[in-house]
Amino acid sequence: MQLRDSIKKALKDNNALLVAHYYVSADLQILAEETGGVVSDSLEMARFGQNCDADTIVVAGVKFMGETAKILSPEKRVLVLDEAATCSLDLSCPIDEFSLFCDAHPDHTVVVYANTSAAVKARADWVVTSGSALKVVKSLHEEGKKILWAPDKHLGHYVGAETGADMLMWDGSCVVHEAFKAEGLERLMQKLPDAAVLVHPESPKEVVALADVVGSTTALINAVATMDNDTFIVATDNGIFHKMREVAPGKKLIEAPTMGEGADCESCAHCDWMAMNSLEKCLSVLETGNNEITIDEEVIDKAKSSIHRLLEFTQ
Ligand code: 13P
Ligand code: SF4
């Protein structure tokens, strides 16, 4: 209790707000909401950070979420809880290689997922999130544009299949969602025929094909809250269960299988980088000012316009 009280005081003293993703621990999510911050998907995290009037934004999530907050609010101080908390998608897409890929295809509109570095966002025409990718690409496709897509090939495949857009694909993936296995999921579905299957689109296409609902973290939480089913099989990071239990306390939530039969870990979808966030680190960054996000001004200016396009489009 003392730790939580100390963080609350430090947030107040710094005129700071805590912005948390659904995948971080329940104690951080609860604290964010209790102190006027927010718990949300990556799109709403970005929007909240931009619209709030705090001097400091403390981001409980991964590095790209802190960078997005800084790009949208360069005048604010943005702190992340652990500088080493990154994302396999971000790591898979280094700016130099990505820039060469873009240079080789100048006739394509460059659309990148939010899970990328500030420099990659600065090289893009559009930034999208899982909650907005379908609509943005559909609209670009209707304008006759060819798309260069990075970095998540699974999300890219899903968006391409749904929209029919002409998409050149970067070869990146999320290590957490890629572990979901269609075979194991099918077996579970046979045992639980009345369960609804909820899948984040970073999952492989064979898993997406089995879904009743495919969507962003927010869309999956809304599905649990609004669908009539009593049981849900959920293929995304298990940090999301905290919010799902809160919005639908009576419902049965089951993790989709990852490693499959005979493996040590049947259901263990949790992002190691998200797990690096903790209450202790939250207090520490507020007290020391460590882990401040800094980004080159030129990069901020370029990245800002591609994120603004998204925010205006999804308004
Ligand atoms: P959402 O935008 O759906 O919250 O996804 C972010 C993420 O990192 C999923 O792995
Ligand atoms: Fe990145 Fe996957 Fe972790 Fe999300 S769950 S932050 S996409 S590695």
User: Is 255 near ligand 2, meaning CB less than 6 Å away?
Assistant: no
Instruction: Report the CATH number that the domain containing residue 104 is assigned in CATH.
Output: 3.40.50.10800
Residues 6+ apart with CB under 8 A from 310: 43, 126, 127, 128, 129, 132, 136
Our count of domains for the chain comes to: 3
Q: Are 170 and 241 contained in the same domain?
A: no
**pLDDT at residue number 261:** 54
162 and 183 in a single domain? The answer is no
- Is residue 78 located within the same domain as residue 146? no
Query: Separation of 12 CA from ligand 1 center, angstroms?
Result: 28
With the most atoms of ligand 1 within 8 angstroms of its CB, the residue from 68, 176, 200, 222 to mutate is 200
* Residue 177: per-residue pLDDT: 95
Low pLDDT (below 70) residues in the chain: 1, 259-267
Residue 25 within a domain: yes
Residue 185 within any structural domain of the chain:
yes
The pLDDT of residue 264 is 53
Residues 99 and 167 both lie in one domain: yes
Q: Is residue 77 included in any domain, yes or no? A: yes
Which ligand sits closest to the CA of 47? 1
Candidate of 130, 180, 270 to mutate for ligand 1, largest count of ligand atoms within 8 Å of Cβ:
130
Question: What's the confidence (pLDDT) of residue 260?
Answer: 53
Residues 9, 65: one domain? Answer: yes
Calpha distance 51→288 (Å, rounded): 25
Does residue 28 fall inside a structural domain? yes
E-assigned strands of 152-216? 167-169, 196-199, 213-214
Range of the domain at 279: 2-85+274-294
Q: Is residue 306 one of the residues assigned to a domain?
A: no
Ligand nearest to the CA of 216: 1
Q: Do 163 and 93 have their domain in common? A: yes
- Alpha carbon 287 to chain centroid, angstroms: 27
Please indicate, yes or no, whether residues 7 and 80 belong to a single structural domain of this protein: yes
Which pLDDT value is given to residue 44? 87
pLDDT at 46: 85
Closest residue CA from atom 3 of ligand 1 = 216
**Domain-embedded: residue 110:** yes
Tell me what pLDDT residue 43 has. Answer: 81
Picking from 142, 174, 206, the residue at the C-terminal end of a domain is: 174
Indicate whether 230 and 190 sit together in one domain: yes
> Which residue, 139, 174, 209, sits at the end of a domain?
174
Q: 102 and 75 in one domain?
A: no
The DSSP code for 88 is: H
Quick one: 97 and 78 in the same domain?
Answer: no
Is residue 123 domain-shared with residue 165, that is, in the same domain? Answer: yes
Q: How far apart are CA 110 and CA 302, in angstroms?
A: 13
**Does the beta carbon of 115 lie inside 6 Å of ligand 2?**
yes
**Are residues 139 and 202 located together in one domain of the fold?**
no
- The pLDDT assigned to 132 comes to 92
pTM given for the model = 0.94
Please work out whether the CB of residue 175 comes within 6 Å of at least one atom of ligand 2: yes
Domain presence at residue 264:
no
| pLDDT confidence of residue 276 | 97
pLDDT at 314: 84
Q: What are residue 232's DSSP bridge partners?
A: 196, 253
Q: Tell me, using a 6 A CB cutoff, whether residue 130 lines ligand 1.
A: yes
- Whether 52 is in a domain gets the answer yes
